[in-house]
Amino acid sequence: MKLSLPEKQNRNMETTQDILKSERQQSWREDLRKSMKAKERTSRERVKMLEQDPHIRNKNHTEVNVGLTEEMAIKEAQRCLDCVDPTCISGCPVNINIPKFIKRIEQGEFLESAKVLKETNALPAVCGRVCPQEVQCEASCFYVQKLKKDPVAIGHLERFAADYERNSGNISVPEVEERNGIKVAIIGSGPAGLAVAGDMIKWGYDVTVFEALHEIGGVLKYGIPEFRLPNEIVDVEIENLRQMGVKFETNFIVGKTSSVDDLRKEGFEAFFVGSGAGLPKFMNIPGENYRRIFSSNEYLTRVNLMNAANPDYDTPVFSGKNVAVIGGGNTAMDSVRTSKRLGADRSMIIYRRSIEEMPARVEEIKHAQEEDVEFMNLNSPVEYFADENGNVNKMRVQKMELGEPDSSGRRRPVPVEGSEYDVEVDTVVVAIGVSPNPLIPASMPELDVTDWGTIKVDKDSMQASIEDIFAGGDIVRGGATVILAMGDGRKAAKGMHEYLKEKVRNK
Amino acid sequence: MADLTTKYLGLSLSNPLIIGSSGLTDSVDNIGELERAGAGAVVLKSLFEEQIMMEVDASLREAYQNDMIYSAKSETLDYIDIHIKERTLSAYIELIKEVKNKVMIPVIASVNCISSAEWVSFANQFEEAGADALELNIAILPSDENTGPESIENTYLDIINRVRSQVKIPVSVKISPCFTNLAMMVRKIADTGINGLVLFNRFYTPDFDINNFSEKSSNTFSTPSEAGNVRRWMGIVSPRLKCDLAASTGIHNSEDLIKQLLAGARAVQVVSTIYKNGRDQIQKMLGGLNQWMDEKGYNKIDQFRGKMSQAETSNPAAYERIQFMKYFSEIQ
């Protein structure tokens, strides 16, 4: 099934608001609104996602969320009021046309719903699973803003539509323009790189994605566990891109295997740097270099990418019975829940602030709690100890209390003097964030970077200080979400497209 | 030509003139120049935990205002203080390593912390990086009316004991004179077994503009008149203590240097005079010391060190004279 290019690309004179208004006035939308009174819609409770039982799923790596059935999806879609002023759209980093895709679900036109998603979101099956909707689209939902009720389950519905399309076999492949012979290189095959690839190939460019690892997908594959985002879903999206003509080169480190200059000599005319932020960070406390203290990067990559949990694979990973994970974000949740699946008796989260302040998705925290993860909030490790073989066997933890707010307004964690106590551990995973991949900036000293090590870009075009270089995702932001990375990718694709058109004109 | 060598914190110095912790000692190139100019040792610019916290606050403000830097849900942003601390610490450790690779003179790392746990963590890392010694820049202004003197003193001692228990390199502490009983405090510090004591730290002084009612700093540089208090206490405590003593504040020329040595110091730390007069001041001061030693017939500093201390001087009471009286004032 072929998609035509989105109509709004041709409607240069209309604003987005005008487009949304005219779409809302289409007869099928009006009919749907008339089919059920607003009062009935708002009286319904949010449909609960079907999940595996926590005590079964904490021993397997199968996806926790089973998914909505068609009936459940339609029922949830009916809660959406198709607002005159859809604030949910402004809550989405890529401005998905949320009411339109939800109303297609209500209509029973699930494939049409997937088409709407793909107008702005290259990887809806991914985003429906990993976006922090509770601070994005769903936080802006009318239900939350005005009615103080549970929002429409936008994320679950997005996942439903994308999964339906994938399972139906009728995956919409966007139309591709005639090839123009201009070669573009994309460095990194994570969400930002895949988003750029998706757009550039549509516009007729000769696109090659260079990936350092042996698998394509970046953090989608090595960082996010199977039980949250099955790799096969990522593979379907990648296969789509292959079908459109995108080429992938794996085990290729730009900056080492070849430099950007080398690639220029091979005829590449523009570059997108989406090399991410995968440099692990530690706390630099005594004993942190004992054995069996991992970065979350290493721990998750071994399991997610290298199949360490599968006895048929050679990759080892030590994951003991008393596992402590330091941190409070999604990576920490992924790590601690992985440890449970690897057989830990105690899987602990050590986080220095309260549970309400943890940056992890609300759903991940809930799932972790259900899976018997112990949350030791207002605690922070100060030292590790080891046995005679150098393997960590004890962690000294200090209690924290919340002090004065820092300049972000969050209360600063302050150590409680004299409150230290010891906890037995045999594995520690440090998940306190990462730094940008230093390789590309180091191989191009003339590239402007920030003090953070991120690449400086123009906010609108994502163009870097070197004119044929564009960048987006974590290498620009330091640490962000999949959807933000994709948004950057799409913006960079537009910027790159304009740059190349100009370059061709001036030849 | 006299022998100007001395030992300080167990380190052999070619002369007793140490460049104190300041902007003069914050880079490899600067320190290289100071060595060429003849400095006996350097104390690296202090690593301030407070400065790290200020950088964290500035970074958080920037991150929350700039939607291109991190997202609110970023784990990295959540632990940005750890990241910045690590980055700052890494840069300081790199500085220690580079300086040690470049110069032959002793390099003393300097640190000022707020939370007691950080002192130890930083100290360990400086030692690993190759610092020859560590100077603890402990500066607690007793401005909190609810915190008693004993509590403040115990904080000093706690920090010193913790750090000393964790590192093998020599440790000194730079203190201010703001103690209820300075002599007692100095004794307590010395009894910890610390290798050295630096008298005195010089605090930033706030000032204000009376025309636009705004705050400003004052007295960035010391003046020679500030050396008097250092001299007094050097003279009083040097005979009593086993640990090495260094004089700091108001030492601007060779006469100031000689006086501190006579009072009992093993070394002096200078900053302001180098800022004001340039690196050539080092040779001027050492030249003056050398000349004076030749005139007086001294071959080594040990021959006269402490000669004017309270224990050695013919008028020990002078050290404890605090009131101006007719018989002691030259002004009638």
Give, for all 507 residues of chain A, the pLDDT tens digit.
333 334 444 444 457 888 899 999 999 999 999 999 999 999 999 999 999 999 999 999 999 999 999 999 999 999 999 999 999 999 998 889 999 999 999 999 999 999 999 888 878 899 999 998 998 999 999 999 999 999 999 999 999 999 999 999 888 777 889 999 999 999 999 999 999 999 999 999 999 999 999 999 999 998 999 999 999 999 998 998 999 999 999 999 999 999 999 999 999 999 999 999 988 999 988 899 999 999 999 999 998 888 887 878 888 888 899 999 999 999 999 999 999 999 999 999 999 999 999 999 999 999 999 999 999 999 999 999 999 999 999 999 999 999 988 877 888 899 898 899 999 999 999 999 988 888 888 889 899 998 888 999 999 999 999 999 999 999 999 877 888 899 899 999 999 999 999 998 888
In this prediction, residue A9 carries a pLDDT of 43
Going by DSSP bridges, is the β-strand pair A346-351/A322-326 parallel, antiparallel, or unpaired? parallel
Q: In the structure, what pLDDT confidence band is assigned to residue B323 with cuts at 50, 70 and 90? A: low
Element (H, E) at B267: strand B267-270
Nearest Cα neighbor of B246 from B1, B5, B20 is B20
Residues written for chain B: 332
- The CATH number of B6-328 is 3.20.20.70
In this prediction, residue B211 carries a pLDDT of 92
What's phi and psi for A218, nearest 5 deg?
60, -135
Q: Assess A285–B contact: CB distance below 8 Å, yes or no.
A: yes
Show me where the domains of chain B are located. 6-328
pLDDT tens-digit map of B112-169: 876 666 777 788 889 999 999 999 988 777 788 888 888 888 889 988 998 898 899 9
Contact A286 B121 (CB under 8 A): yes
Element (H, E) at A395: strand A392-405
Radius of gyration over every alpha carbon of chain B, rounded to an integer in angstroms = 21
Residues of A in contact with B73 (CB under 8 A): 132, 135, 329-330, 359-361, 481
pLDDT tens-digit map of B28-39: 999 999 999 999
Distance from the Cα of A285 to chain B's closest Cα (Å) equals 7
Q: Which two tokens stand for residue B185?
A: 């405090």
In this prediction, residues B290-317 reach a mean pLDDT of: 91
Of B57, B71, B79, the CB nearest to A480: B71
Of A407, A480, A484, the CB nearest to B60: A407
Cβ–Cβ < 8 Å for A332, A349: yes
Residues of B in contact with A329 (CB under 8 A): 73-75, 78
Q: How far apart are CA A50 and CA A217, in angstroms?
A: 27
In this prediction, residue A349 carries a pLDDT of 98
Q: A280-434 architecture in CATH?
A: 3-Layer(bba) Sandwich (3.50)
Residue ranges of chain A assigned to CATH 1.10.1060.10: 2-168
In this prediction, residue A138 carries a pLDDT of 96
In this prediction, residue B42 carries a pLDDT of 98
Contact A417 B116 (CB under 8 A): yes
In this prediction, residue B324 carries a pLDDT of 65
In this prediction, residue B146 carries a pLDDT of 84
Pinpoint the alpha helices (H) of B222-279. Answer: 227-237, 254-263, 272-277
Is residue B22's pLDDT more than 50? yes
Contact A132 B73 (CB under 8 A): yes
3-state SS string over B139-169? CCCCCCCCCCHHHHHHHHHHHHHHHHHHCCC
B164 compared with B321, residue with greater pLDDT? B164
Q: Assess A408–B contact: CB distance below 8 Å, yes or no.
A: yes
In this prediction, residue B193 carries a pLDDT of 95
In this prediction, residue A6 carries a pLDDT of 43
Q: Which two tokens stand for residue B9?
A: 């914190």
CATH class for domain A2-168? mainly alpha
Is residue B289's pLDDT more than 70? yes
- Sequence-separated (6 or more) residues with CB below 8 Å from residue A13: none
Q: Assess A456–B contact: CB distance below 8 Å, yes or no.
A: no
Distance from the Cα of B228 to chain A's closest Cα (Å) equals 39
Of B63, B79, B116, the CB nearest to A432: B79
- Sequence-separated (6 or more) residues with CB below 8 Å from residue A162: A114, A117, A124, A125, A128
In this prediction, residue B215 carries a pLDDT of 83
Q: In the structure, what pLDDT confidence band is assigned to residue B102 with cuts at 50, 70 and 90? A: very high
Of B69, B74, B121, the CB nearest to A359: B74
In this prediction, residue B150 carries a pLDDT of 87
CATH of A176-277+436-505, one of 3.50.50.60, 3.40.50.720, 1.10.238.10, 3.40.640.10: 3.50.50.60
Q: In the structure, what pLDDT confidence band is assigned to residue B184 with cuts at 50, 70 and 90? A: very high
Contact B69 A478 (CB under 8 A): yes
Residues of B in contact with A332 (CB under 8 A): 75
CA distances to A32, A149, B88 from A36, in Å: 7, 19, 61
Of B68, B72, B75, the CB nearest to A433: B75
Residue ranges of chain A assigned to CATH 3.50.50.60: 176-277+436-505, 280-434
Contact B68 A332 (CB under 8 A): no
Q: Assess A460–B contact: CB distance below 8 Å, yes or no.
A: no
Is residue B331's pLDDT more than 50? no
Count of A-B CB contacts under 8 Å: 106
In this prediction, residue B256 carries a pLDDT of 97
Q: Assess A417–B contact: CB distance below 8 Å, yes or no.
A: yes
In this prediction, residue B325 carries a pLDDT of 59
Residues of A in contact with B128 (CB under 8 A): none
CA distances to A474, A476, B84 from A451, in Å: 14, 12, 10
Nearest Cα neighbor of A199 from A270, A144, A149 is A270
Q: Is the ipTM of this complex over 0.90?
A: no
